[in-house]
Structure 1
Amino acid sequence: YIGSNVATYPEAAKRGFNDGHYICVHTWSHPAMTTKTNHEAVAEFYWTLKAIKETTGVTPKCWRPPQGDVDDRIRAIAWQMGLHTVLWDWDSEDWDMPAPGGGDLSPATVDGYFAGWIEDEESGNQTHGHITLEHELNNATVNMTMTWLPKLQKVFNVIPALACNNVTQPYWETQFVYPLQTEAIGGSNSTNTTSASATTETTITLS
């Protein structure tokens, strides 16, 4: 989550947590982090962590760099603040669709990305899992994910990003323990285990 959004719309963060999503830091103001000084980078992390903690009661162990902009300096600062850097390798580019806050990318193009991922997997072209990137920026992006998630789940074993790294405790508060095999959407912050029949793991990152 973007920290300033959590402060402005706390109920959205509460719902995400209560619905079982893994909550990660996405900085306070969504800047290109490598352009920030050390002190500015710390502030981006700190105030976001504080907003998430005050809203949901948990302190995340992960963060996603805005635009994927990160270097060893920023990665080290994040690590010192208890944050594991999460990047992706499949980008839906859904944020660029026509909608408030979006751009002019055709929804059909985004559909094509999802369809291509599925086709590659069904053709046996995939040899490892992937981290995909979608957004909850507006109704268009949310609807796109809700349309394609069930289709992805039929082909891939969709799990949270941190589960790919065998992380069962995504927060510094130790009472929250998650199974390694769980659905990315529709779960809960409990220890119930779910599974899928597909063999290739993928994870969906919503931000």
Structure 2
Amino acid sequence: MPVYNACVGKRPPRSLLIRWALLATFCFQWTNVQGTHHDHSATPRDPAWLLGVNLDDIPNAPIRPVGSGVCPDAKCDGTDNEKCFENCAAVASASDVYGCPRDRHWALTFDDGPSALTASLLDVLDEYQVKATFCVLGAQVEKFPHLVKRAFLAGHQIASHTYSHPHLMSLTNEEIVYEMKATEKAIEAATGSRPRYMRPPYGEADARVKAIMRALGYKMLLWNVDPTDYKIHREPDAPELIEEVFYDIISGKSPSPNPHDDEGFISLQHGQCLFIFRCYVRSCGVLKD
């Protein structure tokens, strides 16, 4: 995966991060703008998409209903990840991408778009000359194909985040193929290019899901830094918690999860809160200087 953003150097000024946290409190539009979790039943299904996809060697793992992977006392230390997959996300495989391989390199990734705010997000990226990876939903790509095209032509990487943002482990093999193929077709229509990376919604993917992704030619993109920016609209102390995650990493704290002991970082963001992102990218600029 291309390493798009190298944030190196000193700790950002305290005043910068305070300003970042204060601005973050104004992100009240979060749930109203994005609307990204679509009805899986509306995902396009073309039986022709199943042709040429070899599902014979897919592990015969059980379908896991939504809610069956929630544990009140999950450790997520590798001993209970399979059982508590909705708490712990995926069990790492050797081919999964979690962080940048090079020290002091930081890659920004944005999930669940595009949306009505993506144009402004792209403006911020242009302003600070930062490239990012957009993990897009097929249903959203169909609504905003011009924004996906703009991002692609600007040199950003486009990855698949499925069509409707389902819990993939709750779907049949064929339903998973439809989710990926429908998104693939939407991205190809917008950019003329097929994505090579995918990010599973909620980070959930067992051996069955991963085998299907390999059969479809995808490599799995995860993350080792999660600022939990999705909490900004519902938790009063979310700005401080996001700031703390940023400080911890810059100060040398090991990221988590980091199953491959990557020296660099891939952080999970969502493009709904431009105030957070503008300050985040500005902080990276400070680190570069």
Alignment correspondent of 2:163 = 28
Task: Name the CA shift for 1:35/1:153 in 2 (closer, same or farther; >3 Å).
Answer: farther
Per-residue deviation, 1:119: 1.7
Match for 2:250 among 95, 100, 118? 118
Matched, 1:14 2:146: no
Identity %: 32
Per-residue deviation, 1:95: 1.6
Q: Distance in 2 between matches of 1:71 and 1:89?
A: 18
Match for 1:147 among 273, 279, 282? 279
Q: Name the TM-score, length of structure 1 as normaliser.
A: 0.65
Alignment correspondent of 2:206 = 71
- Cα deviation digits, residues 146-187 of structure 1 (max 9, x gap): 2112323554xxxxxxxxxxxxxxxxxxxxxxxxxxxxxxxx
Q: Name the TM-score, length of structure 2 as normaliser.
A: 0.47
Task: Name the CA shift for 1:70/1:108 in 2 (closer, same or farther; >3 Å).
Answer: same
Task: Name the CA shift for 1:57/1:127 in 2 (closer, same or farther; >3 Å).
Answer: closer
The alignment yields a C-alpha RMSD, in angstroms, of: 2.0
Matches within 5 A, 1:193-204: none
Q: Distance in 2 between matches of 1:60 and 1:15?
A: 15
Alignment correspondent of 1:172 = none
Q: Distance in 2 between matches of 1:152 and 1:36?
A: 39
Task: Name the CA shift for 1:104/1:9 in 2 (closer, same or farther; >3 Å).
Answer: farther
Alignment correspondent of 1:104 = 235
Q: Mind listing any 5+ residue stretches in structure 2 that lack a counterpart?
A: 1-135, 254-260
Per-residue deviation, 1:61: 0.6
Aligned length: 146
Q: Distance in 2 between matches of 1:120 and 1:154?
A: 17
One-letter amino acid matched to 1:5: Q
Q: Distance in 2 between matches of 1:104 and 1:46?
A: 36
CA contact (8 A) 1:118 1:152 kept: no
Q: Which structure would you say has the larger RCO, counting Cα contacts within 8 Å and 6 or more residues apart?
A: 2
Alignment correspondent of 1:166 = none
Q: Distance in 2 between matches of 1:18 and 1:4?
A: 20
- Cα deviation digits, residues 21-62 of structure 1 (max 9, x gap): 110000000011111100100001000000000011110110
Per-residue deviation, 1:129: 1.6
